[in-house]
Amino acid sequence: MDVDGVISLFGFQGALALPGAFHTIDGIPHCIGHDSGGRVKRLHEAFEMVWATGWEEKANEYLPLLLDLPERDYHVLSFDGRATWGSAHWKLDAIDEYAGSRPAAWVDDNLDEECEGWAARREAPTLLVRTEPATGISDEHVERLLDFARRHAGT
């Protein structure tokens, strides 16, 4: 799961109400979506939670507490300095290596054609869930993810 554009929201100028609460993380204000913690918790039993974000270790330092998640230490993918703003394909190697031959679901606001091609080529079931950065993960996304988990449990 990505963070920026999924849990930490942006681009909501002109919204009637803020979609989240602001928290300062390493001196940078982040709008953490109001319902994102509950939504991520709903996924906890069905999925192995893995942070796939440029935040890397910072995700575990801040988000489990802010989101009231059941664990405090989730697996974090390392991108070895490959983080590039504006695209998600820089995450592909690390995600592919970690997922291996297992079913995988990837939640990100910045999925592109290269990500879609990767998902289509994988032999294991793969679900890409694209979020809007101003609203982040939604109940509809969670339902799609849970349905995917039910259909592919044990594969």
The answer to whether the CB of 100 falls within 8 A of the CB of 143 is no
- Nearest residue to 33 via CA among 3, 59, 57, 70: 3
What pLDDT score was predicted for residue 14? 75
pLDDT in tens, the chain (155 residues): 999 999 999 999 876 789 999 999 999 999 999 999 999 999 998 999 999 999 999 999 999 999 999 998 999 999 887 666 666 789 999 999 999 999 999 999 999 999 999 999 999 999 999 999 999 999 999 999 999 999 998 76
Determine the Cα angle at 93 with ends 45 and 52, to 5°: 40
Collect all residues with Cβ–Cβ distance below 8 Å to 113 and sequence separation of at least 6.
Answer: none
